[in-house]
Chains A and B, each alone.
Chain A
């Protein structure tokens, strides 16, 4: 095992998949000579050349639309959207085309592609370099939505995404790119399956359901409250769509209390689906109302530091929410 950063895990996954399958290629803005603005494709242009690590025009629709066409031919494109905030010009291609292609052709045409995008705030990025966009895609049958929280999962899930015969939205917590480090097997092939959530901390008193950067903070919050005698279970949802309802309900059965944490806006956010799952099938297991801790319902994460801090969820805010729920 060797310790690497989350962004290095992403880079390694792409490196290995480019080496494994000549149909895999990367297309995105500045992914070539520059190696990506977050360095996620660093060294890949030099290793695989400009035909497989392709600098696109500055147009997200082009990146995804061309990716779809190449996938229809049998290629395995990895499309990089530089920031999740910039994905909307490609929304039509993702929702109307990639997601519906297999269904609308009755299985004749499939779109095996990955759309990678760094998401999330807390990095001084203001309204347009901080967004969480997952909820727009977690109600679109035909795509899968994956958000890793650590290097091991990031690498294993991205490799699975590249091999998946369907379009996979792969959102990476950019705040954690260099902050979150973890061990991955060295020189050993592994993948992490798309679908299952994972209990990352066993606990008895309540469950925190979360993903991405907030999972990292939730683990920290759990350690804070542990000193006060509160034993929190943490579930890293990892794959948001399709939903792993079994793992969610099993944990609620065990702890009887549920807190959902995400940095995306509260209303209509992914937490609503988790809460509905619990209300519909886990109601009799509950000892307290389901709680959500999420980004406030304002249009974006502001630039100025104090306002950004007001917006963002942090370990202290999660610890407070855990204490509240534990005391119920």
Chain B
């Protein structure tokens, strides 16, 4: 089904809002107002394109820590994200227990993940296994960085899903760096998608800066999964435009020239250009969207700032299900 103009505009808006929110997190960190940020800048097209291919409220998302734009697309509010940046009480990913961007959102069927990479991949296969057991037509989307595909956990997860033909779409967001280590030191194959062949699946590559192309590829995989034709591995290629995290300095391992070169393929710019070419938005519409994004981010920061911190004693619970949650 081709995307409507409204849908395309909405997708771009989600990318733009995520970008401005992500940028504000960097500013808040430099102002000393938050302790840590890990960024998804440059990956918004791949993330929003993928989310629009699943059914919200029905399908499942098992994300990784760069998926801010996915979270926004799934309905996490900017205020909730800034609350998690600040470690405020009741933020919905972890009740301020986890570092920021270790996502979870029960109400949207987004499962909690941890920091050691690829640990979430087997959970996606387990969810898919349960879905198949119950004969439901739900689909699981799970993401990972290209570096994390070096982990055995990812191979085992894809292997299990392939054996049982589970409704899981494994997305590899290849941003070309795992902190400082480039792809060629991570794998001998040309792309992470090539690894799928050894596990009995076709590996699909798509330009991760092209939101509508990503949407098409993921939608195809989701439809296959939904009708029982098994899992897919899709590699979305892009470039990590920021350092790994607020604690990283990428000048020690890549040139400014290289980064500047990739900024020409910034998915926000590319998508904006595309929408203007297709006459879906005009320059003044874009300016209005920018103003609205700034206002929403301002408001989110203000609301999060006013929110209280948790009591120290809240850390004692909840360890076991069945006990009272004191938060």
Contacts and interface: CB of A to CB of B under 8 A. Distances in A.
Interface string B51-82: 00000000000100000000000000000000
B130 A70 contact: yes
B192 interface: no
B129 interface: yes
Given A69-B124, A69-B125, A106 B94 contact: yes
A209 interface: no
A65 B319 CA distance: 20
Contacts of A77: 126
B119 A92 contact: yes
Contacts of B130: 69-70, 73-75
A: interface residue count bin: 35 or more
A224 interface: no
A92 to B, nearest CB: 6
A106 to B, nearest CB: 3
Interface centre among A51, A70, A107, A109 (most CB of B within 10 A): A107
A61 interface: yes
B268 to A, nearest CB: 31
Given A65-B125, A104-B114, A106-B318, A75 B156 contact: no
A43 interface: no
Given A102-B318, A106-B97, A73 B126 contact: yes
Contacts of B128: 69
Contacts of B116: 92, 96
Interface in B267-286: none
Interface string B126-161: 111111010000000000000000001100110110
Contacts of B62: 69
A292 interface: no
A254 to B, nearest CB: 30
B29 interface: no
Contact of A166 (B97, B112, B119, B322): B322
Interface in B299-327: 318-322, 325, 327
Contacts of B156: 57, 59, 61-62, 65
Contact of A66 (B114, B119, B129): B129
A70 B321 contact: no
A59 B156 CA distance: 8
A325 B125 CA distance: 54
A57 B159 contact: yes
Given A57-B163, A61-B152, A68 B319 contact: no
A53 to B, nearest CB: 12
A61 B151 CA distance: 12
B98 interface: yes
Interface string B81-104: 000000000001111011000101
Contacts of A66: 122, 125-126, 129, 157, 160
Interface in A54-85: 56-57, 59, 61-62, 64-75, 77
A70 B129 contact: yes
Given A104-B94, A106-B97, A62 B122 contact: yes
B119 A96 contact: yes
B119 A93 contact: yes
A101 interface: yes
Contacts of B327: 106-107
A270 B104 CA distance: 35
Nearest to A111: B321
B264 interface: no
B123 interface: yes
A107 B114 contact: no
B11 interface: no
B153 A103 contact: no
Nearest to B104: A105
Contacts of A70: 126-127, 129-130, 133
B325 A96 contact: no
Interface of A: 25, 51-52, 56-57, 59, 61-62, 64-75, 77, 89, 92-93, 96-97, 100-110, 112, 141-142, 144, 164-166
Given A93-B153, A110-B321, 6 more contacts: A51-B133, A59-B156, A65-B156, A66-B160, A106-B327, A112-B321
Interface of B: 62, 92-95, 97-98, 102, 104, 106, 111-112, 114, 116, 119, 121-131, 133, 152-153, 156-157, 159-160, 163, 318-322, 325, 327
The 7 closest A-B CB pairs, nearest first, are A69-B126, A65-B122, A106-B95, A73-B130, A165-B321, A69-B123, A108-B106
